[in-house]
Amino acid sequence: MPSINRTQSGFTLLEVLIAFMVLSFGLLGAVALQAQAKKASFDSMQRAAAISLGEDIMQRIRSNDTTNIVNLYSQTFSSTTDLKSINTCYTDTCTAQNIALTDIENWKAAIRARENTGSLDEATVCINITPASNDADNIEFDVRVIVSWRGRQDLKASDAVANIQCGDENDRRRLVMLESYLLIRG
């Protein structure tokens, strides 16, 4: 009679269950990591949109080379501010005031995320222009543009950021602040 070899050559059910549990925990961790990466990607996209908007505001203010720049651009508006239809600069010759009004209406439209025309949620833009000096040939200004919006998750702001007055002050507020110096030719 042949002898029966009783050595094991496969996996036991217990080993398969343990391997399945390890794989399950690994997959759950990967899913959680993917969710966090998606949140970070969204926050990054909003920050990039805010920086792009702030840079656009700075460049348009620079291109409207007028000594009345403080009265034309210093203001605060949000994504809930009403839009006005401005067509003057698209059909006629524009004055500095017409250019400023068109710029501001374009910026208001750019931050209206609820209407799918912008990418910042509950955004507020604060434009502060203050004269740095005023001599006979040149007029100098300090320009500060603050773009704030509502992020997806709570984040404790530093004291310096918490003291900035632009937008709703809460733990979801995010902001980008750009500062520049502007010299207008006399």
In tens, the pLDDT along 106-145 reads 898 888 866 665 678 788 999 999 888 766 556 888 999 9
Confidence tier at 52 by pLDDT (50, 70, 90): very high
Q: Is residue 1 part of a domain?
A: no
Q: Is residue 4 part of a domain?
A: no
Mean pLDDT, to the nearest integer, of 23-38?
88
Q: Is the pLDDT of residue 4 over 80?
A: no
**CA–CA separation, 17 vs 10, rounded Å?**
14
Q: Is residue 58 part of a domain?
A: yes
Mean pLDDT, to the nearest integer, of 55-70?
89
**CA–CA separation, 178 vs 120, rounded Å?**
17
Q: Is residue 176 part of a domain?
A: yes
Query: Structural domain of residue 85, as residue ranges?
Result: 13-185
How many angstroms separate the Cα of 117 from the Cα of each of 19, 28, 54, 60, 121?
Answer: 49, 36, 17, 20, 11
Mean pLDDT, to the nearest integer, of 35-44?
81
Residue 46: predicted pLDDT: 86
What's the structural domain count of the chain? 1
Residue 76: predicted pLDDT: 93
Q: Where are the alpha helices (DSSP H) in 64-172?
A: 69-73, 88-91, 96-110, 159-162
Q: Is the pLDDT of residue 36 over 90?
A: no
Q: Where are the alpha helices (DSSP H) in the chain?
A: 13-63, 69-73, 88-91, 96-110, 159-162
Q: Is residue 158 part of a domain?
A: yes
**CA–CA separation, 178 vs 175, rounded Å?**
10
Task: With beta carbons less than 8 A apart as the criterion, state whether 100 and 72 touch.
Answer: yes
Q: Is the pLDDT of residue 50 over 60?
A: yes
Mean pLDDT, to the nearest integer, of 8-15?
77
Q: Is residue 7 part of a domain?
A: no
Residue 24: predicted pLDDT: 92
Q: Is residue 6 part of a domain?
A: no
Mean pLDDT, to the nearest integer, of 148-158?
80
Q: Is residue 112 part of a domain?
A: yes
Task: With beta carbons less than 8 A apart as the criterion, state whether 118 and 111 touch.
Answer: yes
Residue 144: predicted pLDDT: 94
**CA–CA separation, 20 vs 77, rounded Å?**
55
The order of strands in the sheet holding 75-78 is: 75-78, 124-134, 138-150, 173-185
